[in-house]
Amino acid sequence: MNPINRLPLQGIKVLDLTRVLAGPFGSMILADYGADVIKVEKPGQGDDTRTWGPPYVEDQSAYFLSINRNKQSIAVDMSRKQGQTIIRELARKSDIVMENYLPGQLKKFGLEYKDLQLINDRLIYCSITGYGSQGPYSRRPGYDLIIQALGGMMSITGSSEPVKVGVAVVDIATGLSSVGAITAALYQREKTGKGTKIECSLLETQLSLLSHIAANYLNAGWEAQRHGTAHASIVPYQAFICQDGERIIVGAANDQFFHELCAVVNLPELTTDDLFKTNKLRVTNRKSLISILSKKFLEKPLAEWIELFQKANQIPYGPINDMKGVFENEQVAFLKQVLEMKNPNRTKPVRIVGPSVNFENIEKSTMLRRAAPLLGEHTRSILQTELGYTNENIDKLIQDKIIQ
């Protein structure tokens, strides 16, 4: 392959001990970028998300299939000494180990960072926890819903009642953070020749996601409020109900956009009204302005408003789509991000949303090398090719229920 067409992490080996979402999402991105990812699972059970359905594609949940593409699965009982030996042998040959066990849980298996560093000092070891490796909450299991609540996300989401974000945004953001840290550590290793330990936690990620909301509180003592689709510091920047009951989102993030909005809805007099001339004034007089605009949007159905906004210059707008609307959208179709993957051990192909990035000279479809694996699908081939085990060795491990 021409080096310019190579995936950026081609040749990097990842041993993935993570389960559920944050870790698997992060390791999937590394795999999308070309890394060889070996997913370690518990024999007979596998990753919890394999059973998180419906819906299912044959015997696998769509949830599992969405976050485990481009990986190989090896089923090893890490509670047994022979299983621990296999993990250590794989770690010796790996560039990266990812795990999301409770702090200290891998100590009894001899699989903590300090254990594996002794056999591979170039190893980058990424540990993902709920609350951090130390502190009063460190031993608590971390789940996105709980972190959204404790970390303030739910208090600023929704209208009258606090609600969670529709996807596990903290898990996904933690996975993204782990990818950034891991790639930075790979670059650092090029200079030092040594690996390192990385710690990510759902709580620390959640705190970082508070962004300006946290800054508002820490510097001005502002306690955040729930605004539904609206924005605390920009007006108008929210959804409006149309004549047919559908909703349109408009975002007048500056004075120019506000002037364009007023032109589209045929309310030019608002631009010269002393109550609405600047964003600061519009925020102060939010209730009055939103009342005027809400009445106006009720005069036409969504389709007519969309047509009028399309003719405008650059004001941000859009409908609130359901999943059908999302995947029928012309821009979504143009991006060709919905891809189909086949597994030779399955009869049905899997349709997924592919990688969210584009590398020059690399077709997005080429980033997808294999569909999410069956439980233990690659156990035999990994032990043979990576560790040199014979069929006799492997058959004995299967008989002893060390592997599946």
Amino acid sitting at position 162: P
Active site residue 77: no
- CA dihedral for 313, 314, 319, 321, sign (positive or negative): positive
Contact present, 34 and 6 (Cβ < 8 Å): yes
For the chain, the distance separating the N- and C-terminal CA atoms, rounded to the nearest angstrom, is: 34
Three-state SS for 288-301 is: HHHHHHHHHHCCCC
Cα separations in angstroms, 306 against 235, 323, 330: 20, 19, 14
Cα separations in angstroms, 373 against 325, 367, 369: 30, 16, 11
* 3-class secondary structure, 249: strand
- What residues does 350 pair with on adjacent strands? 341
- CA dihedral for 355, 357, 358, 359, sign (positive or negative): negative
Residues contacting 197, CB < 8 A, separation 6+: 113, 117, 125, 126, 127
Q: What is the DSSP letter of 269?
A: G
Residues contacting 357, CB < 8 A, separation 6+: none
Selecting among 36, 95, 144, 171, the annotated active-site residue is: 171
255 CB neighbour count, 10 Å cutoff: 14
Per 3-state DSSP, the chain is made up of helix, strand and coil in percentages (nearest 5) of 40, 15, 45
Question: Which residues are known catalytic residues?
Answer: 171
